[in-house]
Chain A
Amino acid sequence: GENVEQHPSTLSVQEGDSAVIKCTYSDSASNYFPWYKQELGKRPQLIIDIRSNVGEKKDQRIAVTLNKTAKHFSLHITETQPEDSAVYFCAASGAAGNKLTFGGGTRVLVKP
């Protein structure tokens, strides 16, 4: 089945700097890659996703890139703010496109 690795496990940045989280996946047939944000004590919430027919997608300060050849995708947060502090999860949808496999999560701390 699908295996998703996520790095780093923790990331501390200064407010205003950029944050980058990287994920690799194992199933070359995967074609859907969402990112979820989970604030402390809350549920995971989708913040952005990308499908295999595009290489990059942007939504305000958040962008995701996908390299299908290398089987990796990344989340980029620019101009970080304290409210960006949370745990971020990447995920990949397997060949059947029915279920998600999540990475281990990255705890992001934005220092004011």
Chain B
Amino acid sequence: DAGVIQSPRHEVTEMGQEVTLRCKPISGHNSLFWYRQTMMRGLELLIYFNNNVPIDDSGMPEDRFSAKMPNASFSTLKIQPSEPRDSAVYFCASRTGTTDRDTQYFGPGTRLTVL
């Protein structure tokens, strides 16, 4: 199994540009999570999906952030327009079931730098 796949691994962009991060969960997993990690705020849950349906987006910082999961094997996190304070490592994670009976597996992350 290839594990959770994220792309790109690194992204450098200028303030005001649109950024799209991509995630492919582990095949057969039913839940998908987007996290943001910074030194100041640690590991924050942004949004999670169960069976492709967004369940909790209370962690999404503001309207500039949006996430979609059009099918069981693909999700995107979009930032438009991007700002320097969005610079962080963004992790996607997936889980077999829809409750915490099962382990969350993290992808390698996307390091985003907004200049």
Q: Which of A32, A45, A49, A99 contacts B33 (CB 8 A)?
A: A99
Q: Count A/B pairs, Cβ under 8 Å.
A: 49
Whether the pair A102, B43 counts as a contact (CB closer than 8 A) is yes
Q: Size class of B's contact patch?
A: 20 to 34
**How distant is A50 from chain B, measured CB to nearest CB, in Å?**
12
6 of the cross-chain contacts (CB-CB < 8 Å) are A34-B103, A43-B106, A97-B99, A98-B55, A99-B56, A102-B45
Please report the C-alpha to C-alpha distance between residue A97 and residue B42 in the assembled complex, in whole angstroms.
21
For A104, list chain B residues within 8 Å (CB): 42
A76-112 to B contact mask, C-beta < 8 Å, 1/0: 0000000000000100010001111111110000000
Task: Kindly identify, within residues 54 to 112 of chain B, every residue whose CB is under 8 Å from any CB belonging to chain A.
Answer: 55-56, 91, 98-101, 103-109
B27-52 to A contact mask, C-beta < 8 Å, 1/0: 00001010000000011110010100
Show the binding face of A for B, using Cβ within 8 Å: 32, 34, 42-46, 49, 89, 93, 97-105
Additional 13 contacts, C-beta under 8 A, given A46-B105, A102-B44: A32-B100, A44-B43, A45-B106, A49-B103, A98-B48, A98-B50, A98-B55, A98-B56, A98-B98, A98-B99, A98-B100, A104-B42, A105-B43
For B31, list chain A residues within 8 Å (CB): 98
